[in-house]
Amino acid sequence: MHDQIHAYRANHEWFLESQMSQTTHDLVVMFKEKLKRRKPRGKASEPDVNGVNSLQKDVSMRSEESEPRRSFTDPVRTSIDSMSHSNRPGSRDPNSNFQADRATRSSSEWRRDALTTLARNMDMNMQAPQYRRQRQALLRTEQSEAWYAKAKSAASQSELEAGKIIVKVREHERRDPNLFGNLPSEAVPDVQSRDMGGRFLVNLDRINMSAICAIAQRMPKGAHQHLHFNSEIPPDVLFPHARSPDVQDTMFIRSTVPLTGPENFRDCEIVFNVFPKYMISADCFSPSYNPNAKDPNNCPWMLWRVFREAFPERMAPAGPDNLDAAERWARSKMVISVEHTYGDRTTHNSSWACFNQSTRAFKGLVGYEGVYRWYIGHAIDSMIKDKVMYAELRPMLLDKAIPSNDGLRKLDLKEQMSIICEEIVKKRKELEARNELDKFPFGIKIIYCTPRSIPLAKMKTELEDCIQLKLQFPDLICGFDLVGAEDRPNCIKFYADLLLAFQQTCKELDISIPFMFHAGETLIDTGGSSDPENSNLYDSLLLNAKRIGHGYALLKHPHLVEKYKQQNICLELCPISNELLHLCGNAREHPYPQLLAAGLHCTLNADNPSLFRGASTVSSSLSYEFYQVMVGDPRMNIHGWKQLAEWSLEHSCLSSEEIYHAKAIYAREWEAFCQWVVDEYGGYVSTLDDLP
């Protein structure tokens, strides 16, 4: 049986080869006849052996006249080029006459003629203006259709000059051995070299030394659209409040395990909260400690002040000098580190688990009356330093109350929103008094967030609460979002009936609460199931989302790409967050260049910057994002920066009049920024060599 199969395959291959050889033979005969009929023109040329050169020329002309140019692997062309190859032994060779003609000349003559012809053609093509014109035309067409073409067409002279400066500085920093040392060489790189646009946390110390980062920090950024409420201020700033006299007797901590050994200190999760001072304090360091917080007969909470006093110094990692041992240890639980992110056993799922633990720890340090009120003004100050002029924050409002400083009162959602409004007005007055209102003229708005993991009955009450808050605070509540890891239940489709009813209710009440779902923040893209049809990207489109958070997986859906463009759905990109949650390895692997090239409107956002930017109190949350996209793709330029910032205003929840005002302010700030780049770096760039 095996012999029969082998023979069948051999005969099948021979048949195909014979068919191709016969086709080649027919072509040769046809062109020989054509050559015989052709009348000689002008001076007689040197005889062409068997018309081979003319044959090749005619084959080429025929190919160009009748069909697109063939590839080098085209079967007919390959057959002509290989006519000297022998056929199967014992079979008729249709090319024997042609091979005989060729055999009249020595192989050295053939090789010499081939080299002479190649040299002549290479010399001619060294002066190929048509090719160069075609290439330039191709480049001009691509540039005219670039996603940032509109911004570039309106660029001032200072913007054009600043753009050239930024590109030159970037490319020199790429090669600078003191920064990245990415040299185009076959030599083994120095151990100190790093990839520009590589791993963010690994590069952070170099980034902070970069002139491009300094320029990004100075750049006006428009609006911040995707910023979770409790993550703008780093723990280094929050811990001094947690030990202040206001809460020193009411701030508590609990652990998920007894803190009795190195493994437990390393693996436990911690949570903070404020309770009345008379509550009995547990001992987290006791072997008999019971961490069960759901048991009504158990109290797992230990007074934070006592915890800090009892904390073993040997368990504390290194950290800022202004924090004690317990605070440094707790801080390590809240900030995503190099080890957490890039460990060889780190997975996407473990990254999400670490992220969720961090957010739960942050919640208790922000979620009490005193710091909640302070946080609003301080977050605005931080954004102003980062050249952000407006923001839409995303608080998780599933928990309906936060405690007062003494733990005796609970502030409901209405009281929390009132605090936000009061602090916005307070900050506005401060800015007006300093004649600086244009730095943050529109305050902040709130996108109501709830987790996608809750049951239908709970989702119903969440939607009701959102509408109630919108009616009470019409200028504050601006959207609704479902948050949480998309590789876990539930998908948006699960809540579709409730969400459609919510939309209809808003329409009847004449209020606007657009959806701004987290969607496409995933590699699997199955909506927490095993079925790709449960992707949240479908439902975000059908439910007419104004924007989506991340949209990382959208390129898997070419049809949806076109639909999103038609419905003008904006993507809130978060490149650093996507890297640290293991959607991509670094900025160079992020799909933002492809998303932008596809014609999708996008903005840049920091997501959860206090968790992601490492040990830093610098207000550069959004600056780092703009830096990363500038160095992650050499096609990014100053005009792209401007377009991203302008889209952040155009796709915001500001009114049309406010957007018009915001863009006028932005245009003025942008021009001042460009001139600053020219004044600050123009002289320096003139000393740099031109790079190939």
- Domains of the chain from N-terminus onward: 1-31+54-109 (no CATH), 212-234+335-675 (3.20.20.140), 235-334 (no CATH)
**DSSP label at residue 367:** -
Mean pLDDT on 507-525 = 98
Contacts of 260 (CB under 8 A, 6+ apart): 285, 286, 287
Contacts of 517 (CB under 8 A, 6+ apart): 481, 482, 492, 536, 539, 540, 543, 545, 548, 549
C-beta of residue 691 within 8 angstroms of C-beta of residue 684: no
pLDDT-derived band at 78, boundaries 50, 70, 90: very low
Question: What pLDDT is stored for residue 618 in this prediction?
Answer: 64
| pLDDT of 77 higher than 80 | no
| Structure-token pair, residue 199 | 């791993």
Question: What pLDDT is stored for residue 343 in this prediction?
Answer: 87
Q: By three-state DSSP, how is residue 449 classified?
A: strand
Question: What pLDDT is stored for residue 33 in this prediction?
Answer: 54
Question: What pLDDT is stored for residue 344 in this prediction?
Answer: 85
In 477-516, DSSP assigns E strands to: 477-483
| pLDDT of 398 higher than 70 | yes
What residues does 448 pair with on adjacent strands?
480
pLDDT-derived band at 340, boundaries 50, 70, 90: confident
**Cα 182 to chain centroid, rounded:** 22
| pLDDT of 563 higher than 90 | yes
Phi and psi at residue 99, in whole multiples of 5°? -70, -35
| pLDDT of 561 higher than 80 | yes
> Within a 10 A sphere around the Cβ of 187, how many other Cβ atoms?
6
* Higher per-residue confidence, 53 vs 259: 259
**Cα 656 to chain centroid, rounded:** 28
| Structure-token pair, residue 222 | 């428009």
| pLDDT of 631 higher than 80 | yes
Q: Write out pLDDT tens, residues 111-131.
A: 888 898 888 888 877 768 888
Question: What pLDDT is stored for residue 209 in this prediction?
Answer: 97
Q: Write out pLDDT tens, residues 412-462.
A: 999 999 999 999 999 999 999 999 999 999 999 999 999 999 999 999 999
Which one, of 243, 252, 241, 305, lies nearest residue 275 by Cα? 252
Question: What pLDDT is stored for residue 212 in this prediction?
Answer: 98
| Structure-token pair, residue 546 | 């104004």
The full DSSP string for 635-687 is T--HHHHHHHHHHHHHTSSS-HHHHHHHHHHHHHHHHHHHHHHHHHHHHHHHT
| Residue labelled with tokens 């063939």 | 70
Instruction: Give dist(CA 645, CA 462) in Å, integer.
Output: 32
**Cα 442 to chain centroid, rounded:** 27
Which one, of 33, 80, 35, lies nearest residue 60 by Cα? 80
Question: What pLDDT is stored for residue 19 in this prediction?
Answer: 40
Question: What pLDDT is stored for residue 538 in this prediction?
Answer: 98
Q: What share of the chain is helix, strand, coil (3-state, %, to 5)?
A: 55, 10, 35
| pLDDT of 22 higher than 50 | no
| pLDDT of 50 higher than 50 | no
Question: What pLDDT is stored for residue 169 in this prediction?
Answer: 98
Instruction: Give dist(CA 206, CA 213) in Å, integer.
Output: 10
Contacts of 667 (CB under 8 A, 6+ apart): none
Of 113-127, 387-401, 631-645, 664-678, which range is least confident?
A: 113-127
| pLDDT of 35 higher than 50 | no
Helices 211-218 and 656-686 pack at an angle, to 10 degrees, of 150
C-beta of residue 347 within 8 angstroms of C-beta of residue 582: yes
| Structure-token pair, residue 680 | 């600050």
C-beta of residue 235 within 8 angstroms of C-beta of residue 642: no
Instruction: Give dist(CA 686, CA 691) in Å, integer.
Output: 13
Contacts of 80 (CB under 8 A, 6+ apart): 24, 27, 56, 59
| pLDDT of 146 higher than 60 | yes
Q: Using a CB cutoff of 8 Å and minimum separation of 24, what contacts does 22-30 make?
A: 22/94, 23/76, 23/79, 24/76, 24/79, 24/80, 24/83, 24/94, 24/95, 25/94, 25/95, 27/59, 27/76, 27/80, 28/55, 28/83, 28/95, 28/98
> Within a 10 A sphere around the Cβ of 111, how many other Cβ atoms?
10
> Within a 10 A sphere around the Cβ of 139, how many other Cβ atoms?
10
Which one, of 333, 327, 305, 302, lies nearest residue 247 by Cα? 305
| Residue labelled with tokens 């919108």 | 470
> Within a 10 A sphere around the Cβ of 344, how many other Cβ atoms?
4
C-beta of residue 236 within 8 angstroms of C-beta of residue 327: no
User: Residue 18 half-sphere exposure, CB side, CA atoms within 13 Å?
Assistant: 11
Question: What pLDDT is stored for residue 127 in this prediction?
Answer: 65
Which one, of 499, 496, 493, 494, lies nearest residue 463 by Cα? 499
Percent of the chain past pLDDT 90, that is, above it, reads 75
pTM: 0.85
Of 82-96, 137-151, 407-421, 666-680, which range is least confident?
A: 82-96
Mean pLDDT on 672-680 = 98
Question: What pLDDT is stored for residue 88 in this prediction?
Answer: 42
C-beta of residue 227 within 8 angstroms of C-beta of residue 605: yes
**DSSP label at residue 45:** P
Instruction: Give dist(CA 212, CA 173) in Å, integer.
Output: 8
Cα angle 230, 496, 567; round to 5: 80
| pLDDT of 674 higher than 70 | yes
Average pLDDT, the chain: 88
**DSSP label at residue 589:** G
Find the distance separating the first CA and the last CA of the chain, reported in whole Å. Answer: 63
